[in-house]
Amino acid sequence: MAAVRSNAQKIGHRLAIAAVIAITIVMLSPIYWIASTAFKPRSLATTVPPTVVFSPEVTPFIKLFTKRVQLQKKPDQATYDEAPWWEKKIYDAGERVLKVAGGPQMSAYPSRFLNSLIIAVTSTFLAVAMGTITAYGFSRFKIAGEADLLFFILSTRMLPPVVVAIPMFLMYRVVGLVDTHIGLIILYTAFNLSFSVWLMKGFMDEIPKEYEEAALVDGYTRIEAFFKIVLPEAATGIAATAVFCFITAWNEYAFALMMTNKEAQTAPPFIPAQLGSGITDWTAIAAGTLLFLLPVSIFTFLLRNHLLRGVTFGAIRK
Amino acid sequence: MIATLKPDSSHALRGLSDLRIRNLFIIPTIIFLIVFNIFPLIYSLGYSFYDYSAAGSEEPVFVGLQNYRDLLSDPNIWNNFTVTAKYVIISVGGQVLVGFGVALLLNRTLPAKGLITTLLLLPMMMSAAVVGLFWQLLYSPSWGVINYVFGLGDFAWLSDADAALWAVAITDIWMWAPFVMLLSLAGLSAVPKHLYEAASIDRASGWYTFSRITLPLVSPLLLIAIIFRTMEAFKTFDIAFIMSTQPTTEVIAIRLYKFAFQEWQTGKSCALAYIVLIMVVAITNIYVKYLNQVKER
Amino acid sequence: MSKRTFASLMAGVAMTIAGASAAAAEELTIFWAEWDPANYLQELVNIYSKETGVKVTVETTPWSDFQTKTFREFAAKGSTYDMVVGDSQWVGAGATDGHYVDLSDFFMKNKLADKFLPATVAGYAEYPAGSKKYWSIPLEGDANGWAYRKDWFEDPKEKEAFKKKYGYDLDVPKDYKQLRDIAEFFYRPDQKRYGVALYTDNSYDAMAMGVEQTIFSYGGDLGDYATYKVDGITNSKESIEGLKAYKELYKFTPPGWAKAFFLENNQAITENLAAMSMNYFAFFPALANPATNPNAKGTGFFANPAGPTGKRFAALGGQGISIVSYSKKKEAAMKFLEWFIKDETQKKWAELGGYTCSTAVLKSAEFQNATPYNKAFYDSMLMVKDFWATPEYAELLTSMNQRVYPFVISGKGTAEEALNGMTKDWEATFKKYKRYK
The nearest CA of chain C is from the CA of B98 a distance in Å of 28
pLDDT, averaged across chain B: 89
Does C167 lie at the interface with B, CB-CB under 8 angstroms? Answer: no
What does the H/E/C string look like for chain A?
CHHHHHHHHHHHHHHHHHHHHHHHHHHHHHHHHHHHHCCCCHHHCCCCCCCCCCCCCCHHHHHHHECEEECCCCCCHHHHHHCCHHHHHHHHCCEEECEECCEECECCHHHHHHHHHHHHHHHHHHHHHHHHHHHHHHHHCCCCCHHHHHHHHHHCCCCCHHHHHHHHHHHHHHHCCCCCHHHHHHHHHHHHHHHHHHHHHHHHCCCCHHHHHHHHHCCCCHHHHHHHHHHHHCHHHHHHHHHHHHHHHHHCCHHHHHCCCCCCCCCCCHHHHCCCCCCCCHHHHHHHHHHHHHHHHHHHHHCHHHHHHCCHHHHHHC
Confidence band of C364 (pLDDT split at 50, 70, 90)? very high
Contact between B226 and B177 (Cβ < 8 Å): no
Nearest CA in chain C to A280: C263
Query: Mutating which of B263, B266, B268, B272 best tests the C interface, going by the most C Cβ atoms within 10 A?
Result: B263
Quick: pLDDT tens for C381-407: 999 999 999 999 999 999 999 999 999
Give the pLDDT confidence score for residue A209 in this predicted structure: 87
Interchain contact, A243 vs B121, CB within 8 Å: yes
Interchain contact, A277 vs C75, CB within 8 Å: no
Give the pLDDT confidence score for residue B91 in this predicted structure: 97
Quick: pLDDT tens for C124-153: 999 998 899 999 999 999 999 999 999 999
Does A244 lie at the interface with B, CB-CB under 8 angstroms? Answer: yes
Does A143 lie at the interface with B, CB-CB under 8 angstroms? Answer: yes
Residue A193 with chain B: CB contacts under 8 Å: 29, 32-33
pLDDT at B2 over 50: no
Interchain contact, B159 vs C256, CB within 8 Å: yes
Confidence band of C23 (pLDDT split at 50, 70, 90)? very low
What does the H/E/C string look like for chain B?
CHHHHCCCHHHHHCCCCHHHHHHHHHHHHHHHHHHHHHHHHHHHHHHCCEECCCCCCCCCEECCCHHHHHHHCCHHHHHHHHHHHHHHHHHHHHHHHHHHHHHHHHCCCCCCHHHHHHHHHHHHHCCHHHHHHHHHHHHCCCCCCHHHHCCCCCCCHHHCCCHHHHHHHHHHHHHHHHHHHHHHHHHHCCCCHHHHHHHHHCCCCHHHHHHHHHHHHHHHHHHHHHHHHHHHHHCCCHHHHHHCCCHHHCCHHHHHHHHHHHCCCHHHHHHHHHHHHHHHHHHHHHHHHHHHHHHHC
The nearest CA of chain B is from the CA of A232 a distance in Å of 15
Does C39 lie at the interface with A, CB-CB under 8 angstroms? Answer: yes
C80, C291, C294: residue with CB nearest A92: C291
Give the pLDDT confidence score for residue A70 in this predicted structure: 86
What's at A184, amino acid-wise?
L
* Residues 232-291 in C contacting A (C-alpha not used; CB under 8 Å): 262-264, 266-267, 270-271, 283, 285-286, 289-291
Confidence band of C8 (pLDDT split at 50, 70, 90)? low
Share of chain C above pLDDT 70, in %: 94
Tell me how crowded residue C138 is: count the other CB atoms within 10 A of its CB: 28
Give the pLDDT confidence score for residue C4 in this predicted structure: 55
Q: Can you tell me the mean pLDDT for A22-37?
A: 95
Interchain contact, A70 vs C69, CB within 8 Å: no
Quick: pLDDT tens for A91-130: 999 899 988 877 898 999 999 999 999 999 999 999 999 9
Confidence band of B10 (pLDDT split at 50, 70, 90)? very low
Does A35 lie at the interface with B, CB-CB under 8 angstroms? Answer: no
pLDDT at A275 over 60: yes
Nearest CA in chain B to A280: B137
Confidence band of B192 (pLDDT split at 50, 70, 90)? confident
Does C78 lie at the interface with A, CB-CB under 8 angstroms? Answer: yes
Please give the residue that has the higher pLDDT: either A226 or A1.
A226
Give the pLDDT confidence score for residue C11 in this predicted structure: 53
Quick: pLDDT tens for B117-166: 999 999 999 999 999 999 999 999 988 899 999 998 889 999 999 999 99
Residue A183 with chain B: CB contacts under 8 Å: none
User: Rounded CA gap, B98 and B124, in Å?
Assistant: 14
Interchain contact, A70 vs C35, CB within 8 Å: no
* Residues 140-159 in C contacting B (C-alpha not used; CB under 8 Å): none
User: Rounded CA gap, C412 and A251, in Å?
Assistant: 38
Quick: pLDDT tens for A35-65: 999 999 988 888 888 888 899 999 999 999 9
Give the pLDDT confidence score for residue C117 in this predicted structure: 94
Residue A285's nearest CA partner among A43, A28, A45 is: A45
Residue B264 with chain C: CB contacts under 8 Å: 71, 75, 394
pLDDT at A218 over 70: yes
Give the pLDDT confidence score for residue C5 in this predicted structure: 59
| CB-neighbour burial class of residue A14 (10 A; exposed 0-12, middle 13-18, buried 19+) | exposed
Which chains pack against A, by 3+ Cβ pairs within 8 A?
A: B, C
A71, A174, A272: residue with CB nearest C17: A174
Please give the residue that has the higher pLDDT: either B30 or A312.
B30
The nearest CA of chain B is from the CA of A109 a distance in Å of 15
Interchain contact, A262 vs C59, CB within 8 Å: yes
Residue B204 with chain A: CB contacts under 8 Å: none
Nearest CA in chain B to C203: B245
Interchain contact, B261 vs C67, CB within 8 Å: yes
Interchain contact, B159 vs C402, CB within 8 Å: no
Interchain contact, A277 vs C270, CB within 8 Å: no
Residue B83 with chain C: CB contacts under 8 Å: none
Give the pLDDT confidence score for residue A109 in this predicted structure: 95
Give the pLDDT confidence score for residue B297 in this predicted structure: 65
Give the pLDDT confidence score for residue A4 in this predicted structure: 53
Give the pLDDT confidence score for residue C24 in this predicted structure: 45
pLDDT, averaged across chain C: 92
Confidence band of C224 (pLDDT split at 50, 70, 90)? very high
B76, B244, B263: residue with CB nearest C395: B263
Quick: pLDDT tens for C103-113: 999 999 999 99
Interchain contact, C271 vs B258, CB within 8 Å: no
pLDDT at B13 over 60: no
Does B15 lie at the interface with A, CB-CB under 8 angstroms? Answer: yes
Quick: pLDDT tens for C240-283: 999 999 999 999 999 999 999 999 999 999 999 999 999 999 99
The nearest CA of chain A is from the CA of B127 a distance in Å of 5
Give the pLDDT confidence score for residue C2 in this predicted structure: 52
Which chains pack against B, by 3+ Cβ pairs within 8 A?
A: A, C
Give the pLDDT confidence score for residue A315 in this predicted structure: 39
For residue C162, how far is the Cα from the chain centroid?
Answer: 33
Give the pLDDT confidence score for residue B8 in this predicted structure: 45
Confidence band of C220 (pLDDT split at 50, 70, 90)? very high
Give the pLDDT confidence score for residue A5 in this predicted structure: 58
pTM above 0.90, yes or no: yes
Confidence band of A316 (pLDDT split at 50, 70, 90)? very low
Return all residues near C319 (Cβ < 8 A) that are at least 6 apart: C32, C85, C86, C87, C88, C124, C139, C140, C142
Give the pLDDT confidence score for residue B9 in this predicted structure: 46
User: Rounded CA gap, C298 and A218, in Å?
Assistant: 86
Query: Mutating which of C1, C3, C402 best tests the B interface, going by the most B Cβ atoms within 10 A?
Result: C3
